[in-house]
Structure 1
Amino acid sequence: MIQELTQKLKLNALYIAFIEQETQPAYSELPFEKRVQMLLEAEELDRDNKKIQRLLKQAKLHEKGASINEINFTADRNLDKGVILDLAGGAYLKYFRNIILTGPTGAGKSYIAQAYANKAITLGYSALYLRVPRLMQHLQAIRGDEEYLKYLTRLKRINLIILDDFGVSPLKAVEARDLLEIVEDRTNNGSLIITSQLPIKDWHGYLHNATIADAILDRIVHNAYKIEIEGASQRKKNAQKMMK
Structure 2
Amino acid sequence: MNQTTVINKLNDLGYQGLKNAYLRQMEDTNYHQLSFEERIYGLLDAQDIFLQNKRIATNIKASKIKDKQAAIENIDYNSSRNIDRQAFQSLISMDFIRNHQNIIITGKTGTGKSFTAQALANRALLDGFKVYYVRVPTLLEEIKISRADGTYTNLLKRYSRFQLLILDDFGVSQISTDDVTNLFEIIEDRTEINSTIITSQLPVSQWYDYLNNDTVADAMLDRVVHSSHRVEIKGESMRKLKSKINPN
TM (norm. structure 2) is 0.94
Identify the residue that residue 222 of structure 1 maps to in structure 2: 226
Q: Distance in 2 between matches of 1:124 and 1:20?
A: 27
Q: Note the alpha carbon deviations across 1:112-137, whole angstroms, 9 max, x for none.
A: 10011111111211111110111111
Q: Note the alpha carbon deviations across 1:38-93, whole angstroms, 9 max, x for none.
A: 11121111111111111111111111011111101111101100111111101111
SS of equivalent to 2:110: coil
Of residues 70, 73, 76, the one that matches 1:69 is 73
Q: Distance in 2 between matches of 1:148 and 1:189?
A: 20
Identify the residue that residue 151 of structure 2 maps to in structure 1: 147
Once the two structures are TM-superposed, the CA of residue 210 in structure 1 deviates from its matched residue by: 0.9
Of residues 52, 56, 69, the one that matches 2:56 is 52
1:29-44 superposed matches below 5 A: 29-44=33-48
Single out whichever of 192-201 and 2-11 deviates more from structure 2: 2-11
User: Which ranges in structure 1 are unaligned for 5 or more consecutive residues?
Assistant: none
1:1-244 superposed matches below 5 A: 1-243=5-247
Amino acid corresponding to residue 123 of structure 1 in structure 2: D
Query: Which consecutive segments of 4 or more residues in structure 1 shift more than 4 A?
Result: none
Single out whichever of 193-202 and 5-14 deviates more from structure 2: 5-14
Q: Distance in 2 between matches of 1:49 and 1:239?
A: 37
TM (norm. structure 1) is 0.96
Number of residues of Structure 1 aligned to a counterpart in Structure 2: 244
Q: Give the share of equivalent positions with the same residue, in percent.
A: 39
- For the structure 1 residues 240 and 38, does the alpha-carbon distance in structure 2 shift closer, same or farther, using more than 3 Å as the test? farther
